[in-house]
Amino acid sequence: MERDVRNTVMAWAFVLLLISTSTAIVFYPTDEPVSSVDYSDEDNWLAIASSNEFQADVFYLYPTTWQRNGSEEDVVCQIDDPVMREGANVMFNVQATAFATVANVYAPYYRGADPAYALSLSQEDRNELIGSIPACDAIAAFEYYLENFNQGRPFMLAGHSQGSNVLLFLLSDFMYSHLDVYARMIAAYVIGYSVTSEYMDDNPHLRFAEGANDTGVIISYNTEAAGYDGVNPVLLPGSLVINPISWTRDEVPAPASDNLGSIVINDTGRIESWHELNYADACVNLSRGVIYCSTVNASSLPTSSFPPGVYHSFDYMFYFYDLRENAGMRIARYLAI
């Protein structure tokens, strides 16, 4: 199924709240029974590659695009919720399309959790919430994808925000139990959610990326304005980070002139450029565990529920074409091994 690229990005879609935790943990889906989504119904897929022209796939999970209207409404949306689906389409077009020129893209709809409710819970209860319906939907969709679409090809995982939170369940549990599948994973782009050193220590079957073309690894970063030291709801202690321009983990700055291109939007949410050069630089801050960006004027961006200086909504857009090239490099390296 094909998705048209939009000329605008709705401002409300950038209010991307996260289901965050106060400390790092190992993520495992709940053992409680969860009603299943029928992923044999193509209507429950945001994207199914119309032709498998590439030698590798991408399995993508979108960020939070839904919140409940009142306390009487369920805390997890329905699979056919029109607000969730509209937002998922918007985010697909400015995130998942980064991979569309190098891989076959598959993306299920999944039932996301209301962020405000989740943030009001204890850490244990939040993990139980995300590990139940959202993670179980994603794993069920991934299993259906493997059995019916993948045809043995190597693949990448990609997500953002709550989608990346859900990917951590898939990586820590499903991949541990299916090492033959994990052997075909080129990389996992777990962007906009913290991957901590504790999480990696607790999951020794996983590896964090060290460079531009290592394979079987996790790539993760969160973006902030240079010098920001306030609250960031997606940031956990001990967060690991890699520079999305230079693909190094040291604190050597990567100038905006090295950035291969950004998607730029104005303060109303309208896309001004689909390929802007010299827009966003990137510098790792090891003590905070983030990417600092110094060249973007925060006042030119849409207002969101995140504090000024937290560039969470733009993690993909700032480094869109760097992600595209990097995915291609990792695919080529995997196929050459």
What confidence tens digit (pLDDT) does each residue in 290-333 have? Answer: 999 999 998 889 887 788 899 999 999 999 999 999 999 999 99
The total of structural domains in the chain comes to 1
The two tokens of residue 100 are 């569309």
The size of the chain, in residues, is 337
Is 221 within the bounds of a domain? yes
Q: What is the pLDDT of residues 122-164, one digit of tens each?
A: 656 777 888 889 999 999 999 999 999 999 999 999 999 989 9
For the purposes of burial, counting CB atoms within 10 Å of the CB of 22, is it exposed (0-12), middle (13-18) or buried (19 or more)?
exposed
63-87: b (≥16 Cβ within 10 Å) or e: bbbbbbeeeeeebbbebebeebbeb
Q: What angle do CA 265, 269, 275 make, to 5 degrees?
A: 20
Is 2 within the bounds of a domain? no
Is 3 within the bounds of a domain? no
Task: Find the range with the poorest average confidence among 124-133, 170-179, 186-195.
Answer: 124-133
Is 332 within the bounds of a domain? yes
Query: What is the domain range of residue 47?
Result: 11-336
Is 170 within the bounds of a domain? yes
Is 136 within the bounds of a domain? yes
Is pLDDT at 26 greater than 60 in this prediction?
Answer: no
Is 226 within the bounds of a domain? yes
Total-model pTM = 0.91
More confident residue, 267 or 62: 62
CB 174 within 8 A of CB 135: no
pLDDT at residue 5, rounded to an integer: 37
Is 56 within the bounds of a domain? yes
